[in-house]
Amino acid sequence: MSALAAAATRFTGRPATAQRRLSSHLGEVTLDDGRVVIVKQADDPAAVRAEAAGLRWLAAAEAVAVPTVHGYDERCLVVDRVAQGRPGGDAAVRFGEGLARLHAAGAPAFGAAPPGGPTEAYIGLAPMRNVPGDDWPRWYATHRVLPYLRAAVDADTLSPAEARPIERVCERLPELAGPAEPPARLHGDLWNGNLLWGADGAARLIDPAAHGGHRETDLAMLHLFGAPHLDRILDGYQQVAPLADGWRDRVPLHQLFPLLVHTVLFGRGYAEQTVAAARSQLP
């Protein structure tokens, strides 16, 4: 029995009848009752623990569907596979409504990890520290923007001159952040690839980097990489939880974090976009 099939059987209690390797760290396994599960493998136990805790924390809000977590250990996670369909406008509105309810479920603090989740977590392949704070501007600068800015400068991906407008934005965050918001329960890595449209018409969230944060950050991520029917998603969101005045102007502010992560991971291709986002927030 392969490692994929063994993990699927161990955590579902059902024998495996077929398997398909999707990548070096991902595969799908068919069980004897016809269900298909995804087996995700990781080199760092913290990555598995963080994803499992994040999925369960998002599911606990009963707002947006996520794949069921069947179990995990130090090296693998077993979840249900999402049978995918086509995105539709009505489904997008329902997702927006659910995302607003998910955010409203809240978190103990900005930077709070999901219950049972590690402090040293990940966003994609990049390390991400979940350190709690009660002041969003200070927390966002200290634990989200500046660590990745320093990493990008140290790697010569961003020059010191390019870093300066980003540093100025961090200094001015208290006046740029808009009205104070309570900590929201964030997916944390909400780009289009982590939003799956199910064959049953319901949207599902996968691969979270879940933590307590500002709700505009999830929405800014959807804007950054695009999402089908984004206007309809926002319509649904605003019907449940209207956004504060000026939120559209703050989208680049919230995009600084994912843009810097991509700059660190993928290089100069994102550097100019990151600097432009910072400069858009300065007079």
Do 209 and 188 contact (CB within 8 A), yes or no? yes
Tokens for 52? 């499992």
Which residue is catalytic, options 32, 80, 90, 189?
189
Do 216 and 245 contact (CB within 8 A), yes or no? no
State the chain's mean pLDDT as an integer: 96
Q: Is 54 contained in some domain?
A: no
What integer is the mean pLDDT of 196-222?
95
Q: Is 175 contained in some domain?
A: yes
pLDDT of residue 1: 61
The whole-model pTM stands at: 0.95
The CATH number for 255's domain is 3.90.1200.10
- List, in order, residues 6 or more apart from 191 with CB less than 8 Å away: 221, 222, 224, 225, 258
Do 183 and 210 contact (CB within 8 A), yes or no? no
Q: What is the pLDDT of residues 136-194, one digit of tens each?
A: 999 999 999 999 999 999 999 999 999 999 999 999 999 999 999 999 999 999 999 99
Catalytic residue check, 135? no
Q: Is 78 contained in some domain?
A: no
- How many domains does the chain contain in total? 1
3-state secondary structure of 70: strand
pLDDT of residue 263: 97
Q: Is 36 contained in some domain?
A: no
Q: Is 184 contained in some domain?
A: yes
pLDDT for residue 75 is more than 80: yes
Q: Is 195 contained in some domain?
A: yes
Q: What is the pLDDT of residues 271-282, one digit of tens each?
A: 999 999 999 999
Q: Is 266 contained in some domain?
A: yes
Q: Which domain holds residue 232?
A: 83-279
Q: Is 33 contained in some domain?
A: no
